[in-house]
Amino acid sequence: DAFYDRISHPALTDVKIDFGTMQTSDVYPKTIADLFVGRPIILTGRFAGSTDTNIRVTGSVADKTNVITIPAGQEEVGTHPGIACVWARKKIEDLTNRNIGGIGEPIASEILQTALKYNLMSDYTAFVAVDSSEKTSGEFGVTVNVPVPVPDGVKYETTVQER
């Protein structure tokens, strides 16, 4: 009931974003969903140039057009490496959503390339963790015993055979 109540009363529909004089590219998601109370709309993208502009959010509220102007600000723009990963995750999410119902070869390739470039998991990538702290000797690999704690409530003596 709570879910139905929330989705039946959007706060803003037909949302459009005007980034003013900011030069934006690769903004995801490409299609902006309606805004609901308690559920933010999150966009990621790349921009160049000055952030000394106003961003205009336009949408409909009860069949009336509403415009919200937000100053983009002049704060120092961060270059933390995690920011690129957040953008890449949103790009993969958007491409995956557009690819529902079948494998579109160009979309699958773009997802794969983005995931590999930013070291992210996707439907087309898998990563294997390798413990480089233990080395095996010889031409072929050897078994390395790895101690594992016994789960709570399990008796060691009744589950592990002594050699």
Query: Where do runs of H (alpha helix) occur along the chain?
Result: 2-7, 81-98, 105-117, 156-159
Structure tokens at 54: 């106003």
Percent of the chain with pLDDT over 90: 22
- Mean pLDDT, residues 109-121 taken together: 91
Mean per-residue pLDDT for 102-112?
Answer: 80
CA distances from 143 to 40, 59, 126, 149, 160 (A): 50, 62, 24, 19, 18
Residues pairing with 23 in the sheet: 48
Q: Where are the beta strands (DSSP E) in 19-53?
A: 23-28, 44-48
Distances (CA, A) of 153 to 147, 148, 149, 156, 158: 18, 15, 12, 9, 12
pLDDT tens-digit profile of 9-54? 888 999 999 988 888 889 998 889 899 888 888 888 888 777 778 8
Per-residue pLDDT band for 101 (boundaries 50, 70, 90) equals low
- Alpha-carbon gap, residue 53 to 50, rounded angstroms: 8
Mean per-residue pLDDT over the chain, rounded = 82
CA atoms within 13 A on the CB side of 99: 19
